Amino acid sequence: MTLARGCCALMAATLLAACDTAQQPVEASTDSEAASAETIELVPVTHAQWSTTLADYQPNIVVVDMWATWCAPCVERFPKMVTLHERYANKGVTIVGMSLEDRDDAGAVAGAADFLVRQRARFPNFLMDENILDSFDKLDILGIPAVDIYDQRGKLRYRLTGDDPNNQFTDADIEEAIVSLLAET
């Protein structure tokens, strides 16, 4: 991934879109809102902090997209998460991005933040602030992309993974799960 240089590349936790758009074309959105006024944060959280933060989103349905820039299928899927945010944000659904970038790789973290800006990912975005393998262990996932979907009571109802070659999830599966949970209310 091409990183935005200058001010953006040095800001691991918070990127101003204004830094990015001066050097990078916006690829993933036709939204005409001025990016210069937009701030998208990539917030480091430990797993313990994440558990607390997750509870704060209740009573919303929470869709957690676990991704990284090194994961090609994750990058391909990401625009769908932006679409889901735009479609369901006002219906009690919170999309959350959880980056499993290596926190010790500053260039990769900056690249992830830059990617979020270019995608206009206007939903909460976190960086797992753990050793990268510990992140997988603590989240209890074997690989990414993986999507966890919590219901309105904060109960994990769906875990969508690519762990079974004969049953890998699709973009449509995410939305079907959301619709199913919304129908329960």
- Where on the chain is the footprint of another protein (CB under 8 A)? 3, 70-73, 102, 104-108, 111, 131-133, 136, 142-145, 148, 155-170, 172-173, 176-177
Nearest residue (CB) to another protein, 68 versus 117: 68
CB of 105 to another protein, least distance (A): 5
CB of 156 to another protein, least distance (A): 5
Tokens 């993974």 sit on residue:
161
User: Among residues 161, 162, 47, 57, which one has the least CA distance to residue 98?
Assistant: 47
CB of 30 to another protein, least distance (A): 26
CB of 15 to another protein, least distance (A): 16
Collapsing DSSP to helix, strand or coil, 149 comes out as strand
Nearest residue (CB) to another protein, 88 versus 136: 136
Rounded to the nearest angstrom, the gap between the alpha carbon of residue 185 and the centroid of all alpha carbons in its chain is: 25
Q: Alpha-carbon distance 75 to 78, whole Å? A: 5
Collapsing DSSP to helix, strand or coil, 117 comes out as helix
